[in-house]
Amino acid sequence: METKKAVVLSGVRPTGDLHLGNYFGAILNYVKMQNDYDCYFMVADLHSLTTHPDTSGLKNHIQRVIATFLAAGIDPEKATLYCQSHLRTTGELYLYLNMLAYKGELEKTATFKEKARQQPDNVNAGLLTYPVLMAADILIHKAHFVPVGKDQEQHIEMARNFAKRFNHRYGEVFPEPEAFNYSHDLLKIPSLDGSGKMSKSVNENATIYLSDNDDTIRKKIMKAKTDAGPQQPNSPMPDYVENIFHLMELVSENSTVSQFRQSYNDCSIRYGDMKKQLAEDMIRFISPIRKKMEDILADEVLLKKVMEHGAAKANEHADQTLAEVRKAMRLNYFI
């Protein structure tokens, strides 16, 4: 008898082209997980409305995210790949979970405080209840694991709390979801200017996108923040230099990284050479993904087929959960 695989859910917002942070924090895990788990990967278009209310470019952005997923190696026959708004049941579960989420805890969420600071004229209720919608995305599939970057850790903890509260009040329906990364630690890919993480729409020049062409990658990396270099052997490393090493560890050979570490420690390092090497290794890594993505984007029929197929599979699965939820809540009056 076939044992049931654990369920995985994760999503990426279509707020811009995907970058190295999305790749190493999320997508690389998706590609590995699709072989061992029952995976649901979504393009989180509803979440993007909390910060990007203009929907004129949304379809194009959604297609670009799906094309990136496919180019990175997600197989729509193994994993269910769908668009968040195609699952109406998530909206209903979100409503029920909202009754179990408290204003105080939502206001304390780090991402809410950060977004409220970034867009003081649009502190909408969707922004406040973002973690509740995210919990609904996860729980509608009864997911056990959520591959995400470090920035999402608090949201997963909240999803776990909402699941526990639901189970406690209405009966055991949901597993308690956990954040997941194959590297054991959740990752945070730093931006090139040494200030925070790479992100889709905050600092484009300090973020490397999977759609960047070779020249753009070179230019961005050559501009990464450095200084005059260490003056004493074995000096502590400033954050922005550590960040460059961190990026190098992701795309370069181990021997290349150790050679530059060695030259940092004996003060012979030339940051210009290091950045040139990193740029070439980065291009070797990114350009095949970009080329595949461009081919897929030109195939509208394929993109539509993938979305329709994913929506049907995701809906079938979510409908089962919602039926259980309504039963547990005694909302099934016709029976």
Among all residues, which ones are annotated catalytic? 115, 197, 200
Helix 88-98 to helix 153-170 angle, to the nearest 10 degrees? 80
Q: Are strands 38-43 and 80-83 parallel, antiparallel or unpaired?
A: parallel
Q: Which of 7, 8, 12, 134 binds ligand AMP (CB under 6 A)?
A: 12
Cβ distance to ligand AMP smaller for residue 152 or 321: 152
- Return d(Cα 16, Cα 158) in angstroms, integer: 26
Q: Per-residue x/- marks for ligand AMP, 20-49, CB under 6 A? A: -xx--xx-----------------------
Q: Decide: helix, strand or coil at residue 121.
A: coil
Applying CB under 6 A, the site for ligand AMP has a residue count of 17
Backbone angles phi, psi at 270, to 5 degrees: -115, 110
Q: For the window 149-178, what string marks contact with ligand AMP as x by the rule CB under 6 A?
A: x-xx--------------------------
Q: Which of 7, 8, 9, 13 binds ligand AMP (CB under 6 A)?
A: 13
For residues 332 and 335, give the distance between their C-alpha atoms in angstroms, rounded to a whole number: 6
* Segment interacting with ligand AMP, rule: CB under 6 A, options 54-62, 66-74, 165-173, 183-191: 183-191
Q: Which residues ranging from 194 to 213 are in contact with ligand AMP (CB under 6 A)?
A: 197-200
Question: Minimum distance from CB of 100 to ligand AMP (Å)?
Answer: 24
- 189 lines the binding site for ligand AMP (CB under 6 A): yes
Chain centroid to Cα 238, Å, comes to 27
For 229, the 3-state DSSP assignment is coil
Q: How far is the CB of 262 from ligand AMP (least distance, A)?
A: 27
- Residue 258, Cβ neighbours under 10 Å: how many? 10
